[in-house]
Amino acid sequence: QNAPQSKYHAKAKAIYEKVEQIELLFKSADDAVQAADYKKAMQAYQGVLATDAKSPKAVEGLKAVSAKYKDAQLEAGKASVEKGEYEEGIEIYKELISVIPNDAEVSQALRNAETTFSSLKEIGDDAITEFRVYIKAKGTRNYELAEFARGRYLRRINALYELSGGRNYLSARLKAYLAEVETALNDFLIKGKAAERSNSYEKRVFAADEYNRALSSFIESYGRPEAWIGEDVTRLLKKKIVDQWM
């Protein structure tokens, strides 16, 4: 008699624990929905379905939060893209596809973002190249080349502006480039001051050599430093203007 009774108690305990686990998962799903954490809610409903595959409440709940999660992530991806932050937007779409695979709308959003980002990078690279040519030509007083590069630059940025997030993308690229220039400019200026302050012949020779290397490196990459010390370019380095400077 004890063996069947023990078996009954074990079975009853298992059923109780299963029901308790499902209730906890439903509560977790409800809490996640209240916090707008739809991915966590999806995981909770999936946990219920792993235990009770035919639970109508879990099936409907999963369907509802999946739709909310999809909408929220699509909106987040779109917002990133419109700000020119394509890499972030693409990652959002990829994560969404990993959670909701084979969704035509999400797949299309990802393809569109990747295609546009590829175009932005290509045109953006060309724009930065023309920007560099303009500055170097202006610094060497090659005004004909400078004007030619300026025209090409303007055509590139007009093409960028036709793409979603293009203006913001160019702004970020130029800010990164200008920060790079500013670092290099400060480097050789500091080394120039060090050469002036050296109080011994050996130190002056060493400091002058360091200065000349820094200056040569700067000219090779960015053109004559005089081109970066004028009023217009100083405003650039302070990032008060970025893409409208020409």
140-169: per-residue pLDDT in tens?
A: 778 899 899 989 999 998 998 898 888 888
Tens digits of residue pLDDT in 90-123: 999 999 999 888 899 999 999 999 999 999 999 9
Q: Which residue matches tokens 């699509």?
A: 74
Cα separation, 178 vs 236, whole angstroms: 7
| Buried residues in 32-58 as b, exposed as e (16+ CB within 10 A) | bbeeebbbbbbbbbebbbeebeebeeb
The full length of the chain comes to 246
Q: How confident is the model at residue 6 (pLDDT cuts 50, 70, 90)?
A: low
Nearest CA to 85 out of 202, 164, 25, 15 is that of 164
- pLDDT: is 221 or 37 the higher one? 37
Q: Is 244 helix (H, G, I), strand (E, B) or coil?
A: coil
Tokens of 120: 């932005």
pLDDT for residue 239: 44
Q: If you write DSSP's letter for every residue of 33-91 in order, what string do you get?
A: HHTT-HHHHHHHHHHHHHH-TT-HHHHHHHHHHHHHHHHHHHHHHHHHHHTT-HHHHHH
Predicted pLDDT at 245: 44
Record the pTM.
0.67
Proportion of the chain in helix, strand, coil states, percent, rounded to 5:
85, 0, 15
Mean pLDDT for 206-225 is: 82
Q: How far is CA 35 from CA 31, 38, 64, 96, in A?
A: 6, 8, 15, 19
14 half-sphere exposure, CB direction, 13 A CA radius:
7
